[in-house]
Amino acid sequence: MKLKCATRALDLSSCKVMGIINATPDSFSDGGRNLSTAKAVQSALQMIEQGAEIIDIGGESSRPGAESVTLEDELSRVIPVIKLLRSKSNIPISIDTVKPEVMRAAVAAGADIINDISALSAPGAIEVAKESGAAVCLMHMQGKPQTMQENPEYGDVVIDVAEYLKQRIENCVKAGIGTDQIILDPGFGFGKTTEHNYKLFAKLDSIVDMGYPVLVGVSRKSMIGNIIDKPVEQRLAGGLALAANAVKFGAAIIRTHDVAETCDACKVTMELMKYYDQRGQSR
């Protein structure tokens, strides 16, 4: 499977690890660690050495309850990082934003993928994405970050998420975005209870079966913490368990803060899968 993104094609025939760089003061796990351009790029280069094959850069926290930031602040956080990283590496760069203006500037600075938690729902976002030629990651979210965890409800979380993503795909394709430019993200932790998250994860193959690369981002999230009752900095083992299962269920991209360990988990899982047939039975 080849993903068309701007001027390159990304081979997704094997699962890729996406390293997270939050150039923010308030992200739930690593807020404040990469506020300077130099530190953010240093962190990204370290992730690349550890095996990351995509770097995702964001300048606005989307944790539950997070406040929005101004366009100027977000641009000042992410554009210098993208430019400097692009000058030092040819790695595919993803911009994590909901703002069309940031999308446009980020791709012009060297980004290849637009990763939007609102699935290009802001006015003008689909048009900007189409014009940019970048790949797009369409994520499901119920509500907004400020209120999404207050009382999320679904008829059937798997069906509801799939139907939402189908609608967003249709809108993108109608606007001229190629089907080979689209990634899907079920949006674990975005307007979902712990039960919703695990029901959706257990049926991840139903999202994979839609025929598009699927990104899974569960690194250090509360869906892990609520099960093992441990703080953010002690959720690595739980995150690796979910990452391995995501690979088994067919995920194409694993988004993580913990690149080295996640790369190891993914490699071992992919090796094991060589010895299983399509029904999950050992050969």
Question: Residues with catalytic annotation?
Answer: 221, 255
Token pair in block for residue 138:
């369409």
**Rounded to whole angstroms, what are the CA distances from 274 to 1, 54, 248, 260, 282?**
17, 24, 11, 22, 9
Sequential DSSP letters for 252-264: SEEEES-HHHHHH
Are the C-beta atoms of residues 56 and 43 closer than 8 Å to each other?
no
Those residues whose C-beta lies under 8 Å from the C-beta of residue 263, and which sit 6 or more positions away, are 17, 50, 51, 52
- The most distant pair of C-alpha atoms in the chain lies apart, rounded to whole Å, by 56
Strand pairing category for 2-5 and 8-11: antiparallel
